[in-house]
Amino acid sequence: MNKKLLIAPVLLCSLVLGACESEKQENVTIEFMHSSVEQERQAVISKLITRFEQANPTIKVKQVPVEEDAYNTKVITLARTGKLPEVIEVSHDYAKVMDKELLIDRKAISEVIDQVKPENFYDGVLRIVRTEDGSGYTGIPVSGWIQGIWYHKKALEQAGFSEPQNWQQLMAIAAKFTQPAKKKYGIALPTAESVMTEQAFSQFALSNSANIFDADGKITVDTNQMRQALDYYKQLAHNTMPGSNDVMEIKDAFMNGTVPMAIYSTYILPAVYTDGDPQDLGFAVPTEKTPAVYGTITSLTISAGLESNNVEAAKKFVEFIEQSDNATDWVLMSPGAALPVTKLVTSNTTYINNPVIKAFGTLPNDLVNEFKNVQVFGSVGEKNFIRMGDITGSAVIGEMVNNVTVGKKNVDTTLTQAQLRIEAMMQQRP
């Protein structure tokens, strides 16, 4: 028998099987976890995934939509079972927690940011997603929102005021409009024991160079700078509605004309577009020492510990989402409320011609340029202290502000108590 005749079919079979095996290995399915559970939002994401799969036929993307209230718990559960999705939508705050638990792939994230090009991101955006030690990133930013002081232009103009540039001007305007007997007030200010109150107060504290930590991680609540900021906030609260004010009270007061000014996020824009006058809306950043607005960034992060094929597929998917047309579709799921984080979106004609964006004139572009002024408690220079999450979760800052505004407590005593409480909390951390 001719052995060559036997060897040839065997070799051919091996080559075929090898090719089949190679093809099998190249086909990858990745999961994408996000919080867009609303049907219309899932439709947008489904369209993006379809586009991606058409351009990348060997990669399949499976959506994992999770309700926002259950989101962080779901991440923890999946991490414990080793089943984290390859790509996860996450806020910059929670991304820091994931990084601390070694759940994200810093190398893959940096490689995607390099592909998107750092210069395409607006100033300040990448700083917000820095890791705690400042050496890497916790995710690839895809959208964001900021919070500051909104005002009705006509109301201020008719009273002889222009946009408030500093604390003194803000106080003067608020005092002028306050008429409790007529149930009219100068500013809708968060005063409840809430995260929103912490966020609002942080803008004044950080503008006065007061932070919860210093660069070495030391607690710095009971300081002169923080005392000045808290005392100012207490005085400003004399010009807001009585009681503990939170999200709904503030939005309603601004929209129904009870106040000419309010501290709120960019999520006020859809309401103004629908029920107000977009051309009458102004945004101010009253400054004491440095400009400070509160803001948050939504990122797409890549899980750690993945097979190399899955890492590459995840990187390709996130890079795809960051492309101009795709990132524009993502941002326009909440036009006006969600802000672009790259110039690739703000230069996109679909974004520019969106009716909501057009209605507000130059305001949307003004807002994205405020990312450079975003300051948040726990962020010092290029460092983002993860312990800030525990402090926010304890509500100690919101309670501190509520105590002096609604409870009329002494500022000095309240600050001392807050400092001691936070120090005790930090000592209990492992």
Give the CA count within 13 Å in the CB-facing half-sphere of 140: 31
- Do the strands 28-34 and 140-152 form a parallel or antiparallel pair, or are they unpaired? unpaired
Query: Domain spans of the chain?
Result: 28-143+297-361, 146-294+373-428
Q: What are phi and psi of 395, to 5 degrees?
A: 65, 15
> CA–CA separation, 353 vs 340, rounded Å?
14
Q: What is the pTM of this model?
A: 0.90
How far is C-alpha 178 from the chain's CA centre?
32
Which of the 8 DSSP states describes residue 137?
B
| CATH tag, 146-294+373-428 | 3.40.190.10
Bridge partners of residue 28, in order along the sequence: 59
Q: How far apart are CA 287 and CA 373, in angstroms?
A: 11
The CA distance from 264 to 147, in Å, is: 5
Quote the Cα angle for 321-323-325, to 5°: 95
CB within 8 Å of 130: residues ≥ 6 apart: 136, 137, 138, 382, 383, 384
CA distance readout (Å), 334 to 32, 136, 167, 388: 20, 29, 32, 28
- We find that the CATH architecture of domain 28-143+297-361 is 3-Layer(aba) Sandwich (3.40)
Beta 87-91 vs 28-34: how paired, if at all? parallel
Rounded Cα distance between 412 and 421, Å, is 14
Pairwise CA distance, residues 245 & 231, whole Å: 18
Instruction: Identify the pLDDT of residue 312.
Output: 98
* Beta-bridge partner residues of 384: 379
pLDDT value at residue 386 = 86
What's the rounded Cα separation, in Å, for the pair 383 and 166? 27
Scan for tokens 């402090």, then name that residue: 391
Evaluate whether 378 touches 384 at the Cβ level (below 8 Å).
Answer: yes
pLDDT averaged per 10 residues in sequence order, the chain, 430 residues: 43 46 70 95 96 98 95 93 96 90 97 98 95 92 98 98 98 98 98 97 98 95 98 99 97 98 98 98 97 97 97 99 98 98 98 98 97 94 86 94 98 98 86
* Helix or strand (DSSP H, E) at 233: helix 224-236
Q: Which of 258, 172, 198, 109 is nearest to 395 (CA)?
A: 198
Fold matches, 28-143+297-361 and 146-294+373-428? yes
3-state secondary structure of 192: coil
Report which secondary-structure segment, H or E, holds 109.
helix 106-116
Q: Which residue has the tokens 């492309």?
A: 323
Cα–Cα distance, 377 to 206 (Å, whole number): 8
Tokens, residue 110: 């940096």
Tell me which residue of 401, 156, 115 sits closest to 261, measured CA to CA.
156
